[in-house]
Amino acid sequence: MFKMSKLLDSFGRRISYLRISVTDRCNLRCIYCMPPEGIPLIPHSEILSYEEIRTIVQAAAELGINKVRLTGGEPLVRAELPNLVEMLSQVEGIDEVSLTTNGVLLKKYAVELKQAGLKRVNISLDTLKDDKFQHITRLGKLKDVLEGIEAARDTDLQPVKINTVVMRGVNDDEVLDFANMTHKEGWHVRFIELMPFAGIRDPALRSRTCFVPSDEIRQHIMSLGKLEPCLPITGNGPTKYYRLPGANGTIGFISPISEPFCSSCNRMRLISYGQLCPCLLSDDGVDLKGPLRNNASTQEIRRLILRAVASKPEHHRLAEGVVSMKRNMSQIGG
């Protein structure tokens, strides 16, 4: 069997992580991700089947991919997702299958996901206030997400990471509340800089008006105490981690605009309709669905994966205000 110990792109970065969008559908309409009415949905027949996803992951694992994260849209709205988790956790070479979710349905599925082989979850949560949750997500209830967080912890889908997109004038007044949750509940909170994706109708969100750089957030949190740098709790992604004195949880910062981490990017993204994308912020990609449905061999799928990896750009241009991606965030996953 064809094996590579290292999967390198054109700039010498080792690619070991595949994020898989399993659906473009979502049960929320977050203001920085989708318009209120949603987006035109991809027909089910055009979405990769679980068997097709497994075939791609098997080929990717043979080339050096060892971690997989399932995203959406909202992945838990796709029927029988635990079946896919079980299929991927059994692929030779895959050390970890994880999930990014908005948490609304997590209480219902946490036990089944854990039994299927899921290792951990990241949960998107941008506010701790009921009324603001309605404003930001347009749908859903904060209570469901909080119960999802507890269900994940109870079923040992650990560490549970809380992803918070900070927006000036929207939820930046809650930064200290989230930071305090690392003391109160032992949460691992990650503050994420707002990115100007397609599908955002609000002019303030599309411009730099609502943008809050990580350094400003960091300085604000230091009013609670000195932030001590610490090692990542798990994974090898772009987050810089800190800990407040006496806190069991951690505080992380993901800074794609103010502190770009492209030079260490280790990931590729598989979109639900079968395109393998080398960068979140580009419309470039290599079609895998067409060849798969035309009975392409595993060797051919590996060749296409290598082509996509070779096309990975050196960096994005967000700091210059250049957004080349025309897809909605819900189509490619965060």
Bigger pLDDT: 232 vs 333: 232
C-alpha–C-alpha distance, residues 248 and 257, integer Å: 29
62 CA to centre of own chain: 23
Confidence grade of residue 201 (pLDDT, cut at 50, 70, 90): low
In this prediction, residue 234 carries a pLDDT of 75
Domains, the chain, with CATH or none: 17-332 (3.20.20.70)
**Lowest-pLDDT range of 21-30, 55-64, 99-108, 235-244:** 235-244
Report the distance separating Cα 281 and Cα 300, nearest Å: 26
DSSP 167: B
Q: What is the pLDDT of residues 281-327, one digit of tens each?
A: 877 899 999 999 999 999 999 999 999 999 999 987 665 555 555 65
Region 242-261 average pLDDT: 94
- Mean pLDDT (whole number) for 38-46: 91
φ, ψ (nearest 5 deg) of residue 305:
-65, -45
Q: What are phi and psi of 2, to 5 degrees?
A: -65, 130
For 305, the 3-state DSSP assignment is helix
Instruction: Give the integer Cα–Cα distance in Å for 154 and 262.
Output: 35
Looking at residue 5, what is its pLDDT? 42
Own/partner long-range contacts of 292-296 (Cβ < 8 Å, ≥24 apart): 292/48, 292/52, 292/55, 292/56, 293/52
Residue-wise pLDDT tens digits, 223-235:
999 999 998 877 6
**pLDDT value, residue 22:** 98
| Sign of the four-CA dihedral 87, 89, 90, 95 | positive
- Distances in Å between the Cα of 318 and the Cα atoms of 24, 197, 250, 257 are 24, 10, 27, 6
R_g of the chain, CA atoms, integer Å? 19
| Distance, CA of 73 to CA of 118 (rounded, Å) | 18
The overall average pLDDT reported for the chain is 91
DSSP bridge pairs for 20: 70, 270
Q: Among the residues of the chain, which ranges form H helices?
A: 50-63, 81-89, 106-116, 130-137, 142-154, 175-184, 203-206, 214-221, 289-293, 298-310, 329-332
Lowest mean pLDDT among 82-86, 93-97, 135-139, 282-286: 282-286
| Model pLDDT, residue 4 | 43
- pLDDT at residue 1 above 50? no
Q: For 137-196, write each residue's pLDDT tens digit.
A: 999 899 999 999 999 999 999 999 999 999 999 999 999 999 999 999 999 999 999 987
> So what's the pLDDT on residue 19?
97
Q: Please give the pLDDT value at position 3.
A: 46
Q: State residue 157's pLDDT score.
A: 97
Amino acid at 18: L
pLDDT at 315: 85
- HSE of 251 in the Cβ direction (CA atoms, 13 Å)? 29
First CA to last CA distance, the chain = 33
- pLDDT at position 139 is 92
In angstroms, the Cα distances linking 284 to 72, 189, 287, 313, 328 are 19, 31, 10, 10, 14
